[in-house]
Every structure is written in structure tokens, then in C-alpha cells.
Amino acid sequence: MREGVDGTLLEVRDLRVTFGQRAAWLRPRAAGRSGEFVAVDSVSLSVAPDEIVGLVGESGSGKTTVARAIVGLVRPDSGAVLLDGVPLGPAGRRTTAQQRAAQMVFQDPRSSLSPRMTVAAIIDEAWRTHPSSAPPGDRTAALHRLLDDVGLDASVARHRADELSGGQCQRVSIARALAVRPRLLVCDEAVSALDVSVQAQILRLLVDLRERHHLAMLFISHDLGVVHQIADRIAVMRRGVVVEEGRTTEVLGSPRHEYTRSLLDAAPELSGAGSQDGEVARGA
């Protein structure tokens, strides 16, 4: 993991997102109008160029809502999402460059890829959606380079998603995101559906891609152990609120909030983790 990353690429400022009526037991942080569910409450965070920020918390803490607001799939009630200091609106109102800049990698690669399309067609669709990102010249050669970039053989191009393993599907999802040359990847539980050994491979791939493509990432996970392996900084969410944030070594080594301590207690393999970098980030 790297120290001293300067500047700000992405800024989330006082973000608040509410949804409609929920059952009472699903509304532990409801406020305002009757039945209103506050999913995200005054969340602020930032990601610098080339930086990986981990957003961690239990299921239902609001992490995915933050992610979807960043890429324009959820409209916040208040607050702002800024890229290079410029506010971003809903996905349909963003410029082509803004749409390309922030790409999302979803939790379940199989559900995020069309089972009827070949890998070649999936990547070509990304290029057709964003023509300015399409490579000049031979697209087949460009496709093969892209697949190689994520550790896939060129022969995968002719296969459909339902013919691939979970790990291969997630590599295709990452390739689809990379195809439009983003500056930020928002990875929402991107390894949680994978076997542990495959998780480690995908984490190493993401770290490598950060280096080679100068990518920033917001890496979202419920697993503090996974976030420890990849993130430069960590923000901890609970019930829609960021309760603690800081350098990974600081948060894991000397957690200030009792909720962060409870997450660490649930991950005993991280005992003493604050004094060392994660294995993946070290290139193991």
C-alpha cells in the first residue's frame, strides 16, 4: 500500500439518500417523514488519483447505496458527488467523459453479464456505448490485449458468460469496465461471491491494474480482512454513517470506534495488522 497520495479525484460531500416506507424493524435509522428510511446519512469521503479506499461495514450499512450514488444509479436527497471538483448528476445527465470516468464492478459477475452474449460482444457493446473509448484499427487485436490485461486467454472471447467460471466472469466484468478507460473503479463486494483462492487472485489483479493504468478505486466490502489486503485508507460505515476513517494501518492498529473494534474482533487473523501492510498490496 502506498503513502502520501496527493490531490482528490472523487469527493463525496454530505451525501444523504432516503427511500420510501419500510417495515418498522427495517427502519432503525428512520428520520423525517413517516416511513422514510435513511440509507445514507451525511456521508463524506474522498479518493485521490491512484489511491484505493476501502469502504467497509456490515450488510445494510449503506455501502452499496453510496456506490450507486457515485456512478449515478441512485439520486441523493442532498449532498454532492464531485469528480475533479465538478458535481456529477444522475447517470443520464452526465457527459460522456463523466460516464466513462467512473465504472462499477458488481458483486455477482454472472448476473451483471448477459448470458446470451459472448465475451467479445460484451466488450464491443461497451465500445459502442462509448465510441470515443473504442480503439482505432483492429478491434480483435485490442480485445485480445484487453483480455490479456485481466489474465484471460484470447479464446475466452468466443465464450458466453454462462460457460465461464465465477472468477473468469469477474475478470470479464473488470475488462468491460477497463474497455472505456475509466479513472475510477467502484468495486462493490467484487470478490465476496468467489472462492478464497480466487478472491486472492482478483485482489492481486486489481492492485496490478491500479499500477499499470493509474486507476483509483473505491473498494467496498463487508470483510475487513479483504479490505486490509488492498486499501490505502479505510472508511467504516454503520447504519448509513461513516463512524471512522483513516490510513489502513492506523484504523486497524488503533481503532477509535467501538464498531470498528467489533469488526476487528470478528476477524482474529487481523490481530496486529496495523503494524504491517496487507499481503496482496505487498505483491505477494
Cell of 31: 428520520
If one looks up domain 10-108+184-275 in CATH, what number appears? 3.40.50.300
CA-based torsion, 204, 206, 210, 212: positive or negative: positive
- The whole-number pLDDT of residue 220 equals 96
pLDDT tens-digit series, residues 77-104: 999 999 999 999 888 889 999 999 999 9
Sorted by where each begins, the domain ranges of the chain are: 10-108+184-275
Q: What are the CA-CA distances from residue 271 to residues 81, 268, 281 (Å)?
A: 35, 6, 18
CA distance 161 to 166: 9
Cell of 36: 422514510
* pLDDT > 50? residue 281: no
Pairing of strands 233-238, 241-247: antiparallel
CB-based contact 240:29 (threshold 8 Å): yes
How does residue 225 score in pLDDT terms, banded at 50, 70 and 90? confident
pLDDT tens-digit series, residues 124-177: 999 999 998 999 888 999 999 999 999 999 999 999 999 999 999 999 999 999
How does residue 109 score in pLDDT terms, banded at 50, 70 and 90? confident
